[in-house]
Chains A and B, each alone.
Chain A
Amino acid sequence: MTKTLTFKVIMCLLVPLLLSGCLGGGTEINDLEIVVGMGVDKDKDTGKILLTAQIVREGEIGSNSGNGGGQNAKAFWNVTATGDTIFDAIREMTHKTGNRLFVSHNHVVIYGYNIAEEGLQEHIDFFLRSHEMRPTAFILIAECDVSAVLDAKPETEELPAMNIAKLLKSHGYTSHFIEVNLKDFISCLMSPTTSPVAPIVEVTPGEESEDIYISGMAIFKNDKMVGKLNKEETRGLLWVKGKIKSGVLLVPSPGKQGKIALEILEAKTKVTPKMENGKIVMDVNIKVDTSLAEQATIENMTTLPGFEKMQKIQEEVIKHEIMAAFEKSKELKADIFGFGEMLHKKYSSKWNAIKDNWDDIYPDIVLNIDVKAEIKKADLLVKAPVPG
């Protein structure tokens, strides 16, 4: 190697390293306070923001579940601080923690009921602006105190926040609620027509521990919470949005003797907006495959006429769920289905005429629901085990 080449190589090495400006910028894991969940509430006395951050106490993690000796030691520490803004409160927390809060692993952001009703706009900016925060963190609305949700000690998980994240990811088993992350919430929030929804979390006291429970979905009008969807209505919303993964459809048996549980195997939705004579019609086509999961009746359902009857009833049940959700949204004038966006895409030229009074137009939309249900199988039994 010649001298100039050596020089060039050394410069290539040094210049980017020295110019990068991130030298020595690392932080040892010991010096981090890992935040897994955050709660935003309003301080009742001062009206300031009351921020709760769930910090992992690493030392207690293994020992708790391992030998069962340290039952009393919690694996987390909920730090609270008040501030005028969220960032203000986060930095205020270092007065208690001593270390910088590391929010990259924040999985859930829980807003208090009060704050949700007053409007989330001013409390959501930080969570998307901060380079450390993940826009995929889930957003939730707490029916009770935010700190109570983050304090509830679940049975199997050691960290309440991780438990909530796990609960949200399990939505596919029932399709009674849906996970909403910050990014999706904000994109609905910023849409001129679509109303965002967010799951509602509740704490029900158990005997030794408290259960964290997702009870339904909150409906927002702009950034303010205006109402709730119950489980049935939520599923109505998910049918239209095509986000049904699986779940249990309870239908009355054709002979009205008992209930039949059908498992949703696959569901496909197609929504086609139409404008007919100034009237807006939404064609909702749904194709559902289900299987007979359980029957609480002695009737023999596994016959061709039996299947056909069940399919009919099932279609009605689904239609009913959708209509329930639609009625609720009409009542609140909140376009939770995103119909406005669909119209905008298809009738972009006519959209300008509608968009300003969308709230008045929305309740007049006609929903034309067409459900094609098919029962694919009856699993291992043909006839129900009936006493001989």
Chain B
Amino acid sequence: MPNADKQDNNNEPLSSSLKKNLETIKSVFNASSDLSVHEFNFGHDRRFKAALVFLSTLADKGEIHKNILQPLMYGTLLLNKDAALDFTNIETIKTNLISTMDCRKISLIKDLTDSLLSGATVLLVDGSGEGLVVESINRKDRNIEEPGTEAVVRGPREGFTENVSVSIALIRRKIKDKDLCVEKFVIGEKSKTEVYIVYLQSIVNPKLIDEIRARLNRIKIDAVLESGYIEQFIEDAPYSIFPTVSNSEKPDKVVAKILEGRVAILADNTPFVLAVPMLFIESFQSSEDYYSRPFLSSIMRFIRFLAYIISTLGPAIYVALTVFHQELIPTQLLISIAEGRNRVPFPAVLEAFLMLFTFDILREAGVRLPKTVGQTVGIVGAIVLGQASVEAGLISPIMVIVVSTTAIASFAVPSQADSGTVLRYIYLFLAAFAGGFGVIMGLLITLVHLSSLRSFGTPYLWPVVPLNLPAMKDVFIRMPLWTLSKRPQAIIWQDYDSNRQSPDLMPSPYNDGNTG
């Protein structure tokens, strides 16, 4: 089996014959057309045969020319006949000739191929059983831009990029602390994606790090195309509709999480950074809550809770009330609803289902289409479909109001949009089946499920369940920053470093002691 031969080759050491090495490399890469081999002679009498091997699609040829080829061909050291150095020793070349810092010696074929695949250039010299790997990757990266998913009014506009080292740099720029640890993993048999976990050594719970290491190390997959791949292999409750790993594109948000003792997981080639453990309440907290003053923030937080309730329960409550509990609707409203439903041929639940379904189609279509066409979809959907279906008597106007309120509310809590959509359909079904009783049963089961969830050891509903009163300062209302002096206890699980600021920081006007 040729494949098996190649596998064997990979673990072999490099031969001292340049010709043989080059043949091996070519066969390992199946003579891939972007594999470039540049053979040349160097030394003052040009007696050393050498070759540069790189993947032309990955490597930066200018870098190779400037930092490797030029010193080797025209270096002053080479012109001096008296200083006849033995350039079959790779160490000599590394210390004397190469003018870049990113280089290291290798001696295995496997290391050589790995380096080539990550964009490095390998210098092989005839007569030496070693090679010199020089980093020469040519990355065309996106600039640091404002992320499309998490726009803010107040706060930093930068977002992570696909280049993981830029992303780590963005974190490092915000936490200038020697305790900030960056640990590297390589995940993906084929993709060999660099995955980093970033945390603050002095705050983080060491058991959490062990657990993350264990969970990351057990991932054996072909490729990690997005951090979502990692999320789905490390989450606590894969069958739950609730996410137990949070993600963000915004460095300030991720840094805030690291500072609370969480661990960020960054994967190369995606701007979405994961953070664990995740609490349910995080979905209702926005970075802007902390940047603007506490009063509006508290109201906005209340509105987000309300919006989540509306987005999950809106159609269900409407159906339960109008089909099962008409006596609970005020008379005038009942008459209005009945008036609107006068010509509607469907049962309320089918009407609600049709509208929700249409809304989901519109949303999906609007997301996928180019922006210019997307607006057309909105207009056609909202005005033409909405108005026409009411005028045709297919849908009652109240149902349009209920579904559009639900739809708008579902955008207020983006990180729970998935669970909200699923719950909306479940509750609607239960409401049609058993009215308010069904909805309450559904809520009860959801609550039991939520209370049983954990994310990397932290109870999902903390600090509400189990109740932690000091931490409640940042749940339903956002107390002033100077009162939030403790880090979240359930994430750190240790007492010694739970103070993040001194407790007496309440600002006050200058007082010279005489105003008494």
Q: List, in ascending order, chain B residues with CB within 8 A of A12's CB.
A: 445
Taking the complex as formed, is A23 at the interface, i.e. its CB lies under 8 A from any CB of chain B?
Answer: yes
Taking the complex as formed, is A61 at the interface, i.e. its CB lies under 8 A from any CB of chain B?
Answer: yes
Closest A residue to B396 by beta carbon equals A29
Q: List, in ascending order, chain B residues with CB within 8 A of A23's CB.
A: 433-434
Q: List, in ascending order, chain A residues with CB within 8 A of B327's CB.
A: 104-105, 132, 134
Which of B's residues lie within 8 Å of A, judged by CB? 239, 322-324, 326-327, 331, 334-339, 341-342, 344, 347-348, 432-435, 437-438, 441, 445
A58-B433 contact given A13-B441, A26-B324, CB 8 Å threshold: no
Closest B residue to A62 by beta carbon equals B339
A28-B323 contact given A1-B239, A20-B434, A59-B339, CB 8 Å threshold: yes
Closest A residue to B351 by beta carbon equals A28
Q: List, in ascending order, chain A residues with CB within 8 A of B441's CB.
A: 13, 16-17
Q: List, in ascending order, chain A residues with CB within 8 A of B331's CB.
A: 34, 36, 105, 107, 162
A9/B438 in contact, CB under 8 A: no
The 5 closest A-B pairs by CB, nearest first: A104-B327, A26-B323, A58-B339, A58-B338, A26-B324
Q: Shortest CB–CB separation between residue A129 and chain B, in angstroms?
A: 16
Q: List, in ascending order, chain A residues with CB within 8 A of B437's CB.
A: 16, 20, 22
Taking the complex as formed, is A25 at the interface, i.e. its CB lies under 8 A from any CB of chain B?
Answer: yes
Q: Shortest CB–CB separation between residue B398 and chain A, in angstroms?
A: 10
Q: How far is the CA of A162 from the CA of B341 in the complex (A)?
A: 21
Q: How far is the CA of A9 from the CA of B444 in the complex (A)?
A: 11
Taking the complex as formed, is A251 at the interface, i.e. its CB lies under 8 A from any CB of chain B?
Answer: no
Closest B residue to A134 by beta carbon equals B327
Taking the complex as formed, is A56 at the interface, i.e. its CB lies under 8 A from any CB of chain B?
Answer: yes
Closest A residue to B347 by beta carbon equals A28
A 283-337 contacts with B by CB, 8 A: none
Q: Shortest CB–CB separation between residue A38 and chain B, in angstroms?
A: 14
Q: How far is the CA of A128 from the CA of B70 in the complex (A)?
A: 103
Closest A residue to B331 by beta carbon equals A105
Q: Would you give 17 A-B contacts (Cβ < 8 Å), ordered by A?
A: A22-B434, A22-B437, A23-B434, A24-B433, A25-B435, A26-B324, A28-B322, A28-B348, A29-B341, A32-B326, A34-B335, A56-B338, A59-B339, A59-B342, A105-B331, A107-B331, A134-B327
Q: List, in ascending order, chain B residues with CB within 8 A of A28's CB.
A: 322-323, 341, 347-348
Main secondary structure of the interface of B (DSSP, over half): helix
Q: How far is the CA of A12 from the CA of B446 in the complex (A)?
A: 12
Closest B residue to A17 by beta carbon equals B434
Taking the complex as formed, is A27 at the interface, i.e. its CB lies under 8 A from any CB of chain B?
Answer: yes
Q: How far is the CA of A28 from the CA of B349 in the complex (A)?
A: 10
Closest B residue to A132 by beta carbon equals B327
B445/A13 in contact, CB under 8 A: yes
Q: List, in ascending order, chain B residues with CB within 8 A of A107's CB.
A: 331
Q: List, in ascending order, chain B residues with CB within 8 A of A17's CB.
A: 433-434, 438, 441
Taking the complex as formed, is A351 at the interface, i.e. its CB lies under 8 A from any CB of chain B?
Answer: no
Q: List, in ascending order, chain B residues with CB within 8 A of A29's CB.
A: 322-323, 326, 334, 337-338, 341, 348
Q: Shortest CB–CB separation between residue A330 and chain B, in angstroms?
A: 41
Q: Shortest CB–CB separation between residue B355 and chain A, in angstroms?
A: 16
Q: How far is the CA of A29 from the CA of B437 in the complex (A)?
A: 19
Q: List, in ascending order, chain A residues with CB within 8 A of B324's CB.
A: 22, 25-26
A 1-45 contacts with B by CB, 8 A: 1, 9, 12-13, 16-17, 20, 22-30, 32, 34, 36
Taking the complex as formed, is A102 at the interface, i.e. its CB lies under 8 A from any CB of chain B?
Answer: yes
A22 in complex: contacting residue of B239, B335, B338, B435, CB < 8 Å = B435
Which of A's residues lie within 8 Å of B, judged by CB? 1, 9, 12-13, 16-17, 20, 22-30, 32, 34, 36, 56, 58-59, 61-62, 102, 104-105, 107, 132, 134, 162
Q: How far is the CA of A243 from the CA of B437 in the complex (A)?
A: 40
A30/B342 in contact, CB under 8 A: yes
Q: Shortest CB–CB separation between residue B483 and chain A, in angstroms?
A: 39
Q: Shortest CB–CB separation between residue A117 and chain B, in angstroms?
A: 31
B338/A32 in contact, CB under 8 A: yes
Q: How far is the CA of A29 from the CA of B432 in the complex (A)?
A: 13
A58-B239 contact given A16-B441, A30-B342, A105-B327, CB 8 Å threshold: no
B335/A58 in contact, CB under 8 A: yes
B341/A30 in contact, CB under 8 A: yes
Q: Shortest CB–CB separation between residue A76 and chain B, in angstroms?
A: 10
Q: List, in ascending order, chain B residues with CB within 8 A of A32's CB.
A: 326, 338
Closest B residue to A26 by beta carbon equals B323
Q: Shortest CB–CB separation between residue A314 and chain B, in angstroms?
A: 40
Q: Most A CB atoms within 10 A — which of B322, B339, B344, B348?
A: B339
Q: Shortest CB–CB separation between residue B449 and chain A, in angstroms?
A: 8
A105/B334 in contact, CB under 8 A: yes
Closest A residue to B240 by beta carbon equals A1
A30-B338 contact given A104-B326, A107-B331, A132-B327, CB 8 Å threshold: yes
Closest A residue to B449 by beta carbon equals A9
Q: List, in ascending order, chain B residues with CB within 8 A of A36's CB.
A: 331
Q: How far is the CA of A9 from the CA of B327 in the complex (A)?
A: 32
Q: List, in ascending order, chain B residues with CB within 8 A of A61's CB.
A: 335-336, 339
A26/B338 in contact, CB under 8 A: no
Q: List, in ascending order, chain A residues with CB within 8 A of B322's CB.
A: 28-29
Closest A residue to B440 by beta carbon equals A16
Q: Shortest CB–CB separation between residue A301 and chain B, in angstroms?
A: 44
Q: How far is the CA of A12 from the CA of B435 in the complex (A)?
A: 17
Closest A residue to B438 by beta carbon equals A17
Q: List, in ascending order, chain A residues with CB within 8 A of B334's CB.
A: 29, 34, 105
Q: How far is the CA of A61 from the CA of B438 in the complex (A)?
A: 33
Q: List, in ascending order, chain A residues with CB within 8 A of B342's CB.
A: 30, 58-59
Q: Shortest CB–CB separation between residue B46 and chain A, in angstroms?
A: 71
Q: Shortest CB–CB separation between residue B58 and chain A, in angstroms?
A: 45
Q: List, in ascending order, chain B residues with CB within 8 A of A20's CB.
A: 434, 437
Q: List, in ascending order, chain B residues with CB within 8 A of A16's CB.
A: 437, 441
Q: List, in ascending order, chain B residues with CB within 8 A of A25's CB.
A: 324, 435
Q: How far is the CA of A102 from the CA of B322 in the complex (A)?
A: 13
Q: Shortest CB–CB separation between residue B265 and chain A, in angstroms?
A: 25
Q: Shortest CB–CB separation between residue A388 and chain B, in angstroms?
A: 52
Q: List, in ascending order, chain A residues with CB within 8 A of B433's CB.
A: 17, 23-24
Q: List, in ascending order, chain B residues with CB within 8 A of A1's CB.
A: 239
Q: List, in ascending order, chain B residues with CB within 8 A of A162's CB.
A: 331
Closest A residue to B430 by beta carbon equals A17
B344/A30 in contact, CB under 8 A: yes
Q: List, in ascending order, chain B residues with CB within 8 A of A58's CB.
A: 335, 338-339, 341-342
Q: List, in ascending order, chain A residues with CB within 8 A of B347's CB.
A: 28
- Apart from A29-B326, A104-B327, 17 more pairs, CB < 8 Å: A17-B434, A20-B437, A24-B433, A25-B435, A26-B323, A28-B322, A29-B337, A29-B338, A29-B348, A30-B342, A56-B338, A58-B342, A59-B339, A61-B336, A102-B326, A105-B326, A105-B327
Q: Shortest CB–CB separation between residue A159 and chain B, in angstroms?
A: 8
Q: Most A CB atoms within 10 A — which of B324, B335, B347, B441?
A: B335
B335/A56 in contact, CB under 8 A: yes
Q: Shortest CB–CB separation between residue B394 and chain A, in angstroms?
A: 13
Q: List, in ascending order, chain B residues with CB within 8 A of A27's CB.
A: 323, 326
